[in-house]
Structure 1
Amino acid sequence: MASVQFQADADLNQTIVTGIIRRQPSISFQTATEAGLEGLQDAEVLALSTKQQRILVTHDRRTMPTEFAKFLVNSQSSGVLIVSRKTALEIVIEELILIWSVTTAEEWINRIAKIPL
């Protein structure tokens, strides 16, 4: 059973990534810059995060659910978490740390969820 790893989408508030790493340095949370996601289409972002076995964390609730469904037609996904911009950063950080600590990567395959859960 593999541990959960996260991939920040280009639109994700960087404060979330920074806050998680400060609270739990052992969490693998790759930034969009580290992954080279700037300018990529949603399908390319999903493919890259899946190739690296990372759950994609995004604020994009407008296009990502549809792109995720299209992606699943021909591919398997490591999962997607859609974070509401209205949710307090502390809650987002707590929920992502909780997901990392109590679930496995296998539980997120082909799954999409919203935060707050």
Structure 2
Amino acid sequence: MIKLLADENLDNTIIRGLLRRNPDIDIVRVQDIDLSGEDDPIVLEWAANEGRVLLTHDVATITRFAYERLVNNLAMPGVIEIHTDASIGRVIEDLFMVLECATSGDLDGQIYYLPL
């Protein structure tokens, strides 16, 4: 199963919707692991160390730091960037499609944008 890390800016409605549909999803929030307010590279490093794909609304800066990790041959288990104006229901459906159809290795070094 793909393990997820929800960035602190991620709409909690998405997290609640995912867990309502499948309470076994392995997702932690940045706020729950004392990374609130940390810079993006630190969040990405924690995600890499824990093998967690990052869910975020931060399309402005996360992408650059994720690619920097790849250029420097550092682990980057994946990022899923979610547009803030996307329908929550559509985002949850798309996330479930990714979670059901992919393995954690499929997302390694990848950046996906939702909605699909």
Q: Which residue of 2 aligns with 1:93?
A: 92
TM-score (normalised: structure 1) = 0.93
What is the one-letter code of the residue matched to 1:66?
A: R
Runs of 4+ in 1 over 2 A off after TM superposition: none
RMSD: 0.9
Say how many residue pairs are matched.
115
Query: What secondary structure does 1:7 align onto?
Result: strand
Counterpart Cα distance in 1 of 2:33 and 2:99: 20
Distance 1:115 1:27 in 2: 19
Q: TM-score, normalised to structure 2's length? A: 0.94
Residue segments in structure 1 that go unaligned for 5+ positions in a row? none
Which of 65, 68, 75 is the equivalent residue of 1:67? Answer: 65
1:77 aligns with 2:41: no
The Cα shift of 1:92 comes to 0.8
Residue 38 of structure 1 corresponds to which residue in structure 2? 36
Equivalent position of 2:102 in the other structure? 103
List per-residue Cα deviations over 1:75-95 (Å, max 9, x = no partner).
020100000011110011111
Gaps of 5+ in 2: none
